[in-house]
Structure 1
Amino acid sequence: MGGPYAPVIAQLGGRPTKNVDIPICSVFLVAFLGFGISHMVLFRRNLARGHKFIPSAVTFGFCMSRVVANVIRITWACYPNNVRIAIAAQIFVAAGVLLLFILNLLYAQRMLRAALPALGWSRPVSWTFKALYILVVISIIMLITVVIQSMYTLNANTHRIDRDIQLYGATYFAIVSFLPLPIVSLVMLFAEKEKVDSFGSGSWRTKGLIVFVAGTLLCLGASFRAGTSWMAPHPIYDPPSYMHKACFYVFDFGIDISVVILFLFSRVDKRFHVPNGSSKVRHYRGSDGAEKGSSVEQIQKDETQRDIESSSS
């Protein structure tokens, strides 16, 4: 153990330079900051009206992580030989996008539960989604660990193990980003509109379109990163064309900001809002529906009690 050692393998985007990366990162920094603040403003306004939608705050957190990622990449361009800054840049670029994967999968899950409640609210499916979320957290911890470890050792076997874990992580994240697409397709094909448990505002078709477009973009970026990871490593002085800076900014920050903008202007805070406590009652009818159901049950109990009393008398 020693180091940290400078990487010898070509990476997506390569080492940033002042004349190219600083202007591009500055534009993305301002964009993520502006749209992040917009999501937070929506969250605060909705919360003041009693309209609690936590995904807006999560999107704000994602934008702030992308702001930090761009700041670190600008710093790396100013200090290109600082390996510790390079490590931090890689970690923030890899970790942030997972929040968007989880949000889009959450929206798809809400559509599944509304359209096919017997399936969506079943315990095996609910446990499967929870396992996916937990495995995302475990996987990103593993990836952060191996990224740091690979920079502090020259042991070939350790590098092999680290690469295997990185390939697993890139593949798993690509699968998670893809999952909303078959879920929404299943919902749109087999859901009976008159039986759909309505939630949020807007049409059912628009909800599906939002999740499908966001899922396609996120899956495109994750699949590109996974595909390039599975390619044979190239030396850092001879990177392949798919490791170009343009590919990095398009398939990372470009797709991320597109999804953030999509969530903002499509008003997911209205379309995918569900009443508090829905997971406990296993429906999206809200407290009114629950109170209505309980009042009907109470009336039936009262009528039954009166019948018993009258028959006994």
Structure 2
Amino acid sequence: MLSFLQKRGGPYPSTTAGLGGVPSNDLDTPVCAVFLVLYICFAATNMTIFQKNRRRNHKFVLSGMMFGFCMARITTLVLRIVWANRQRNVRLAIAANIFVNAGILLIYIINVILSQRILRAKQPQIGWHPIPRIGTKVLYYLIPGALIMVITATVVQVYTQNPDVRSSCRDVQLAAMTYLLVFTCLPLIHVAAAVLLPRRQDEETFGEGSMMAKVVIVTLSSCMCILVAGFKAGANWSAPRQLSNPAWYHSKSCFYVFNFMLEILILCLLTFSRIDKRFHIPNGSTKHGDYSRTRSEASDETKAAVEPIAEPKGQA
């Protein structure tokens, strides 16, 4: 790949308008600094929750994933601030744009995991069926593939001036972004199947709080993710525009609203609703009945503890 890029020359600065445009030190740096502080706070909060739960043997990996997402966004904002101070650095622009598209993928995966738990609890015959389980795993594996496609196409695109190659790279990017948009809709399909299908007698409960609250949390988070992915896909599917003639969706306000502001709202929803308590399931849950395992065992232990101890019979 390196020899190929060297032969192609470059990197060449983009001639078309991109989301957010080229950052400026007077406008983008203060805005990025505010979001940077927010992501640092959420990173510290989620890591604290993760460590406290771990000490209590309360395993909830999704808190660690949210910490990883915050760290990815911190890197994104730092790169954008540095790019604002070195606007002619094309390699820096490539790295900043790649991180903008890559960070949110962890939240997409978290939504699918949460919605899958609702489906398995409400409709176990569907949620635990091998076909949906294997299908969801395949969709997970395609996420890194889509990310690799975007990164490769982005890098190759700025190292060539061949219009055919650039057009092919754009097609690859559109395919990857369209897949990510479809992936963000999967949690709503899970939730709809769990809620709309006839209620089953063998449905289970898990975690704290009502099932309706869990449904609302996942639905709101998924809708905001669809808005983020839909905005990116729609903007990229639109006809390319010259740098001197950007569209409204290329503006900095749209860039920060449809990326970082919506992501902060998602973090607020998932963190402050305490999904580590609401969506916690027993370790090693692999089949129907496992979600209620801890609950039933705890109930048995409670009953045993409150049972009156029989007094020993006196000897004759």
Q: Same fold (TM over 0.5)?
A: yes
Partner of 1:239 in structure 2?
246
- Assess if the C-alpha contact under 8 Å between 1:10 and 1:236 holds in 2: yes
In structure 2, the CA distance between the partners of 1:191 and 1:96, relative to structure 1 (3 Å rule), is: farther
Structure 2 CA distance, aligned partners of 1:133 and 1:257? 24
TM-score between both structures, scaled by the size of structure 1: 0.90
- Assess if the C-alpha contact under 8 Å between 1:221 and 1:252 holds in 2: yes
Structure 1 CA distance, aligned partners of 2:186 and 2:289? 22
* 5+ long unaligned stretches in structure 2: 1-7, 300-316
Give the superposition deviation at 1:155: 1.3
- Assess if the C-alpha contact under 8 Å between 1:11 and 1:243 holds in 2: yes
Match of 1:271, as an amino acid?
R
Residue 226 (structure 1) aligned to one of 223, 226, 233: 233
Greater shift, 53-62 or 174-183, is seen at: 174-183
- Assess if the C-alpha contact under 8 Å between 2:50 and 2:61 holds in 1: yes
Partner of 2:211 in structure 1?
204
Structure 2 CA distance, aligned partners of 1:91 and 1:288? 44
Match of 2:176, as an amino acid?
G
Higher helix share: 1
Correspondence 1:1-313 to 2 at 5 A: 1-190=8-197, 192=199, 195-279=202-286, 283-286=290-293
Quote the RMSD (CA, aligned, Å): 1.7
Greater shift, 278-287 or 61-70, is seen at: 278-287
TM-score between both structures, scaled by the size of structure 2: 0.89
Structure 2 CA distance, aligned partners of 1:96 and 1:191? 37
- Assess if the C-alpha contact under 8 Å between 2:282 and 2:290 holds in 1: no
* 5+ long unaligned stretches in structure 1: 293-313
- Assess if the C-alpha contact under 8 Å between 1:114 and 1:283 holds in 2: no
Structure 2 CA distance, aligned partners of 1:266 and 1:287? 22
Greater shift, 129-138 or 175-184, is seen at: 175-184
Match of 1:44, as an amino acid?
Q
- Assess if the C-alpha contact under 8 Å between 1:21 and 1:77 holds in 2: yes
Give the superposition deviation at 1:186: 2.0
Give the superposition deviation at 1:288: 7.1
Give the superposition deviation at 1:286: 3.0
Give the superposition deviation at 1:196: 2.2
Partner of 1:303 in structure 2?
none
- Assess if the C-alpha contact under 8 Å between 1:197 and 1:283 holds in 2: no
- Assess if the C-alpha contact under 8 Å between 1:115 and 1:191 holds in 2: no
1:264-284 superposed Cα distances (whole Å, 9 cap, x missing partner): 100000011111110267631
Structure 2 CA distance, aligned partners of 1:107 and 1:182? 12
